[in-house]
Amino acid sequence: MTSVRQGETRADDDAPPEGARPRRGLHASRRRVLWHVAALAIYGLALTTPFHEVWREDLSVVAPMYPRFEPPLSEQQSFWKWIGESEQRFVAWQVSRNARVLLAEPGRLFDTEQCYPTPEVMALGEPMIALGAVGAPFWLLTGDPLLTYNAVLAGAILLAALAMYWLVSDWTGSQPAGVAAGLLYAFHPDKLGDINHYYIHDTAWTVLALLFARRFFARGRWLDALALALCCAMQMAGSFYPFVSATLLAGPILVWLGAHYGWRNLPPAPTLAAGLLVGAAGYWIFSPYLAMHAGELLATRSELHFASGSELLPGGGRFPGWIALLLMAGAFAPGRERGLASGMGNPRWALLAGAALVGAMAISGSSPEQMPPLYRVLSSLLPGLDAIRRPNEILSGLHICLSILAGLGAAALLARLPAHRATLGAGLLVALVFVFTVRPAWLGLEPPVRYRALPMRPADPELAFFESLARGGNTGPLLEVPRGGIFLEAHRVLLTGYHRRRSSACVNALAPQTAEVWDLAERLPDPAALAQLHAMGFTTLLAHHPARLEGGAADALAERIHAASRQPGSPLRRIHGIDSMTAYEIRLPTGRSAAPVDP
């Protein structure tokens, strides 16, 4: 058995207490294994409710989309539906692309295919590296962008539930309380209702960091120190909102851990190693962003959206739920050590302080545009806080604290039951939390979240088009004209996940290089503009002419480009075309040209 400081006994040690019969320890171990299996089954069943409609479709073609609006739609609803579907295409591309690049070329992680020739363009948006890391095994198995993305969404939600289950079980020794807390945490409507921005709600790494931080303070093991460093790095690599939230939570939790276990008991070597690893990861992740901020490419937001306190009240989108509140009350019931692992110490006040800090950072006093005082102070000290758009999402840390407190309360309530009713009480508790949180349709209830299947895979002729270009030796960066709105640009960016070529298609990024490209593109087919674009590295001009989407202007541009390509000595040469697009090689002043793909 691993030694534990201050006489602490661990809930996961299989050895029986002194003087007990070995059979009792074996029975406890078997019971824990059964609860582990039950947790997996319960969380898997909970996943089927929101994903049911999507999982009936071909997951290489569709992705989940939250149906916020039911038809008929107003003009404003149609606009937000269009925006949401566009953003889902972009996020699906970046998550699956990060999974692929982490495996094949991690050195060019920030140098994405979109917005060519802007370097390290990923630093103009959210990194989503953590979800990419989750998707790496799925990419190895499938090699398909949408299959990978669908697996990542389901896997990330399951990981969140299991992380909370592990933490609460570890802190309380009660697996049923862990199952309940995992349901409240991973399947809350606020966490699942914004599926096309799930990276904002990807906070499982903070939960795991809390788990390993306590274990490291209690045991001082190298393995816990390294796991803590990895979880901190993964949370930094996900999104800025949960990273800021995790940073706020870290203060009260570290104070509690230091007071309970003692700072002097931390072994120096693993402590230093963990700190260095976290610092190195932070430098690697944030240095491109700091460079963009120093170069004034990350613009200061004129409008920041903060949360309203009413969102946390009954009827609000972030209301934790009545059953969660009832269980949280149990964490503050008399008998302060009841339901906690021996020697654990009670973290309830540290969690409450962390929740208060997160709320002070993200909740505005009067209007969503009014900056809270704490945010104003920190944004004047920390570069980048003035560049994020939705500080209200920092409230994800509040959800972590409330879920843990609910788990502690559940364990305290179960600990009060007589031994002969413990199993029945645990089963009823988990069943109640499942029903009130998931509200499964097969029980005749209305689930709080149900996704619809959004077709996203590019059409087969488009995929075949790029395969033909590659077979003909045309593989360089693409200048795609005319520039489309967010929906068309998102579709073109998603296409890069299949053909893997650099492209001028650009979503959610503004940079001087991008502006220069479009200034030149407006002059096409002027040979001087083409020469400058070629000097930037573009080898192929891709003229889109979808009259049904863009109207006559796109077709007129396509006609001018085609006419210019037929002129003697033109720098353009048509190499392939389908109904919706035509590719032209931008020829080098000297040297060999690629062979035409079709007549």
Cβ neighbours, 10 Å, residue 494: 27
| Residues 18-68 pLDDT 10s | 333 444 565 778 888 999 999 999 999 999 999 999 999 999 999 999 876
Residue 72 has what DSSP assignment?
S
- Kindly report the pTM of this predicted structure: 0.90
Which residue type, as a one-letter code, is found at position 442? W
d(CA 112, CA 104): 13
Sign of CA dihedral 457, 462, 465, 466: negative
Look at residues 179, 162, 152, 305 and name the one whose alpha carbon lies nearest to residue 238: 152
Residue 179 pLDDT > 70: yes
Q: Cα-flanking dihedrals φ and ψ of residue 459, to 5°? A: -65, 150
* Phi-psi map region of 128: left, alpha, beta (phi>0 left; psi -120 to 50 alpha): left
Cβ neighbours, 10 Å, residue 567: 11
| Residues 69-119 pLDDT 10s | 667 777 777 887 888 889 999 999 999 999 999 999 999 999 999 999 988
- The answer to whether 171 and 145 are in contact (CB under 8 A) is no
**pLDDT for position 80:** 79
Residue 390 pLDDT > 70: yes
Residue 549 pLDDT > 90: no
Which pair of structure tokens corresponds to residue 66? 């939250």
Cβ neighbours, 10 Å, residue 452: 12
- The answer to whether 496 and 543 are in contact (CB under 8 A) is no
| Residues 477-531 pLDDT 10s | 999 999 888 888 999 999 999 999 999 999 866 666 778 898 998 899 999 999 9
d(CA 127, CA 120): 11
* b (16+ CB within 10 A) / e for 63-94: bbbbeeeeeeeeeeeeeebeebbbbbbbbbbb
- The answer to whether 570 and 445 are in contact (CB under 8 A) is no
- The answer to whether 275 and 232 are in contact (CB under 8 A) is no
pLDDT band at 592 (very low <50, low <70, confident <90, very high): very low
- The answer to whether 316 and 392 are in contact (CB under 8 A) is no
Per-domain boundaries in the chain: 39-68+125-443, 460-586
**pLDDT for position 304:** 77
Helix%, strand%, coil% for the chain, nearest 5: 65, 5, 30
Instruction: Give me the helices (H) in 262-364, please.
Output: 268-294, 322-331, 348-362
Residue 551 pLDDT > 60: no
Token pair 């996704």 in the structure block, residue: 451
pLDDT band at 13 (very low <50, low <70, confident <90, very high): very low
Count of positions (residues) in the chain: 599
Sign of CA dihedral 496, 500, 504, 507: positive
Look at residues 108, 300, 127, 251 and name the one whose alpha carbon lies nearest to residue 199: 127
Which pair of structure tokens corresponds to residue 331? 């964490």
- The answer to whether 164 and 210 are in contact (CB under 8 A) is no
pLDDT band at 128 (very low <50, low <70, confident <90, very high): very high
- The answer to whether 483 and 489 are in contact (CB under 8 A) is yes
Which pair of structure tokens corresponds to residue 242? 């949960």
| Residues 145-159 pLDDT 10s | 999 999 999 999 999
Instruction: Give me the helices (H) in 125-195, please.
Output: 129-142, 145-172, 175-186, 189-192
Indicate the helix (H) or strand (E) that contains 471.
Answer: helix 460-471
Mean pLDDT for 212-222 is 95
d(CA 387, CA 567): 48
Q: Cα-flanking dihedrals φ and ψ of residue 508, to 5°? A: 60, 35
* Phi-psi map region of 7: left, alpha, beta (phi>0 left; psi -120 to 50 alpha): left
Which pair of structure tokens corresponds to residue 423? 């199993």
* Residue-averaged pLDDT of the chain: 86
The helix/strand/coil state of 111 is coil
**pLDDT for position 253:** 96
574 beta partners = 584
Burial class (CB in 10 A: 0-12, 13-18, 19+), 513: middle
Q: What is the DSSP string of 394-442?
A: GGHHHHHHHHHHHHHHHHHHHHTS-GGGHHHHHHHHHHHHHHHHH--GG
**pLDDT for position 12:** 42
Q: Which long-range contacts (CB under 8 A, 24 or more apart) does 517-521 make?
A: 517/116, 517/117, 517/479, 518/483, 521/479, 521/481, 521/482, 521/483
